[in-house]
Amino acid sequence: MNRKQQLFLASQSPRRRELLEQMSIDYQVISVDIDEQQHQGELPAAYVTRVASEKAWAGWHAQSTVIKSPVLAADTSVVIGSQIMGKPVDESDAFEMLRRLSDRTHEVYSAVALVDGETNVRISCSEVTFRLISDDEIRAYWQSGEPQDKAGGYAIQGLAALFIDNLNGSYSGVMGLPLFETAELLYDAGYNLLEQFKGSEKR
């Protein structure tokens, strides 16, 4: 199926909006509110899959029209060992998170869900290795303001890039919206993502 239709993004994240715009996708943001508490015994991959799906379904049900538009949503978690690291509540919490991430490899799970009357989900898992970070660097990083609303207390697209020794996986997935997996969902739903290339200059 080849179609050009409205797409809703169930996210207030400026990073997810930026990544979706990178794909030249027309969309509107729709506000959703769900309980993102991790269930007891829930593994990271299952957690991000469930939360992304629930966000997308909340956006689907929030539409007032009878003929509803597809809703895209995502969820990303920084994981060390089997523990999901949320957003730091204060400087002390961020300091502890970044000390744990320092000089070791952690995982970032990012799930993207598309609801169009049914749920389709893709998941990305990346490995991120931090170099050894000094306490002074952690304090200075906190004072930059960047870690305050970020899962795991860092933003790969920001100053934290200075700490990252290696990335094995999806850069956009670590940012919050894995573009390869997102494109797969949109292609399967009938979106023609090649429209953005029409009329482009040959190089």
> For residue range 20-68, what is the model confidence (pLDDT) as tens digits?
988 888 899 999 989 888 999 999 999 999 999 999 999 999 997 777 8
Q: Is 33 a catalytic residue?
A: no
Distance CA 3, CA 22 (A): 19
Mean pLDDT on 173-199: 85
What is the tens place of the pLDDT at every residue in 115-136?
999 999 999 999 999 999 999 9
pLDDT surpassing 60 at residue 4: no
Burial class (CB in 10 A: 0-12, 13-18, 19+), 109: buried
Domain count, the chain: 1
202 pLDDT band, cuts 50/70/90, is very low
pLDDT surpassing 70 at residue 198: no
111 is a domain residue: yes
> Residue 53: what pLDDT?
97
Question: How far, CA to CA in Å, does 194 sit from each of 24, 48, 104, 113, 197?
Answer: 10, 29, 39, 21, 6
26 is a domain residue: yes
The two tokens of residue 20 are 């979706």
Report whether 156 contacts 101 (CB < 8 A).
no
3 is a domain residue: no
13 is a domain residue: yes
What is the tens place of the pLDDT at every residue in 64-94?
777 789 999 999 999 998 899 989 999 999 9
Distance CA 109, CA 7 (A): 24
Which residue range(s) make up the domain with 90? 8-195
1 is a domain residue: no
Q: Output the domain CATH number for residue 152.
A: 3.90.950.10
Report whether 19 contacts 175 (CB < 8 A).
yes
> What is the distance between the terminal CA atoms of the chain, rounded to a whole angstrom?
30
Report whether 49 contacts 1 (CB < 8 A).
no
Q: Which of 75, 103, 135, 188 is labelled catalytic?
A: 75
pLDDT surpassing 60 at residue 11: yes
184 is a domain residue: yes
Distance CA 53, CA 87 (A): 20
> Residue 1: what pLDDT?
36
51 is a domain residue: yes
Distance CA 180, CA 174 (A): 12
> Residue 199: what pLDDT?
44
202 is a domain residue: no
